[in-house]
Amino acid sequence: MTATATILDVYCVHAATGTDATVNEALGALAGKVPLNEVGVSSAQAFVQSIPQAIAAIDAARGDPDDLYITTTTSGGVDGAIWPGNGSTGSVNSGQTQPLGVSVPVDFVQNLSLWDYDSASDDDLLGSIRIEESEQGAGPIARLASSPAEGSAYYVTYRVD
């Protein structure tokens, strides 16, 4: 008999960074358009080295939530989401918990992937976890799903019955 995992909730420790490649490219292009003495540096190298701090400051100021959806596959696509379903997403920010109550079959191992929907480019993988049939009867379990590339971290709480 196949086990069933009930995904209880997700807790967003840190939402994905709100800056994207377009912002990074725009900041990088500034060195060729702005006299360096106007931005307070003496060389192009100093300017380029300051870009990561500028990106982090923009991201902190924006505080954009993730447009979260969850799949049981390793490929994105809001249309294949098990939560929230109907081609929609749930808005989640750092420090917020999203109750789910979704059940999925677990035949040996089941993948669960968290995604951030992006209308302008490919969706961003926020992290994945593996739910194992051997966890059946262990009670609630919390696993970390994270992505160093996106700067996101979520705890997924589930139980396997």
**In the predicted model, what is the mean pLDDT of the chain?**
82
Shared-domain flag, residues 58 and 69: no
Residue-wise pLDDT for 87-119, tens only, equals 899 999 989 999 999 999 999 999 999 999 987
Shared-domain flag, residues 113 and 36: no
Q: Quickly state the pLDDT bin for 148 (edges 50, 70, 90).
A: confident
Encoded amino acid at 8, one letter: L
Going by C-beta distance under 8 Å and a sequence separation of 6 or more, which residues neighbour residue 55?
Answer: 17, 19, 23, 24, 27
Shared-domain flag, residues 52 and 131: no
Q: How many DSSP H helices and E strands does the chain contain?
A: 2, 8
Q: How much is the pLDDT for 53?
A: 61
Q: Which domain holds residue 32?
A: 21-62
Q: How much is the pLDDT for 16?
A: 87
Shared-domain flag, residues 75 and 152: yes
Here the CATH number for the domain that contains residue 125 is: 2.60.40.150
Shared-domain flag, residues 73 and 141: yes
Shared-domain flag, residues 9 and 33: no
Least confident window among 34-38, 136-140, 155-159: 34-38
Q: How much is the pLDDT for 129?
A: 96
| Alpha-carbon gap, residue 85 to 78, rounded angstroms | 8
Is 32's pLDDT higher than 60? no
Shared-domain flag, residues 89 and 117: yes
Mean of pLDDT values over 139-160: 92
Q: How much is the pLDDT for 33?
A: 52
Q: How much is the pLDDT for 14?
A: 87
| Alpha-carbon gap, residue 56 to 52, rounded angstroms | 6
Shared-domain flag, residues 42 and 81: no
Other CB atoms within a 10 A radius of the CB of residue 6 amount to: 15
State the total domains in the chain: 2
| Alpha-carbon gap, residue 92 to 114, rounded angstroms | 12
| Alpha-carbon gap, residue 69 to 113, rounded angstroms | 8
Shared-domain flag, residues 70 and 55: no
Shared-domain flag, residues 83 and 102: yes
Structure tokens at 98: 């999203």
Question: Which of helix, strand or coil describes residue 73?
Answer: coil
Shared-domain flag, residues 27 and 75: no
Least confident window among 5-9, 33-37, 73-77, 101-105: 33-37
Q: Write the CA distances from 149 to 16, 53, 83, 145, 152, integer angstroms.
A: 9, 16, 23, 13, 8
Shared-domain flag, residues 35 and 108: no
